[in-house]
Amino acid sequence: MKQLIDALFQKLGAKTIEERKALVIQFIKFGLVGLSNTLVSWSCYYIILWIDEDLYMFGSVVGTVVSIANAFFWNDRHVFKGGARDWKSKLRRLGKTYVSYGGTSLLSIGLLWVEVHLGVNKMIAPIVNMMVTIPLNFVINKLWTFRKEAQ
């Protein structure tokens, strides 16, 4: 297990103890952004639900789209900072953010369906899925979405 963790730290560019600590802090910041994403998503969903309960699917989509924009804003400025600031680079990172979060959202939905059909409790399954999708999303965002581009 230690070898696997060491390999992951190496892949993520954290070779020294200081770099590993910085990576853990970055992951915590990423988690806080994720918490804010959840609050933004739920707020959009419940506001639209309050307007008209028949629009619950629309509310879910709006919540997802707005929360991913929220994720991009905070991740770009505070979690994976240091990327090029020109509009073309920002738009590229924004598109990659939607792809990465969209992909892990689809993965989560697929896992939920499988888990429920295998008898996992419907209240527990989403929590289990988060243990897969949050670290996966962090790695995708670090290595692909917000990867430092050659100047």
Is 128 in contact with 120 (CB distance < 8 Å)? yes
Q: How confident is the model at residue 23 (pLDDT cuts 50, 70, 90)?
A: very high
How do the domains of the chain map onto residue ranges? 2-145
pLDDT per position as a tens digit, 107-116: 998 998 999 8
pLDDT per position as a tens digit, 123-134: 898 889 889 999
- pTM for the whole thing? 0.83
Q: How confident is the model at residue 151 (pLDDT cuts 50, 70, 90)?
A: very low
What pLDDT, on the 0 to 100 scale, is given for residue 75?
95
pLDDT per position as a tens digit, 75-112: 999 999 878 889 999 999 999 999 999 999 999 989 98
d(CA 145, CA 62) in angstroms, rounded, equals 22
Tokens matching residue 118: 């295998």
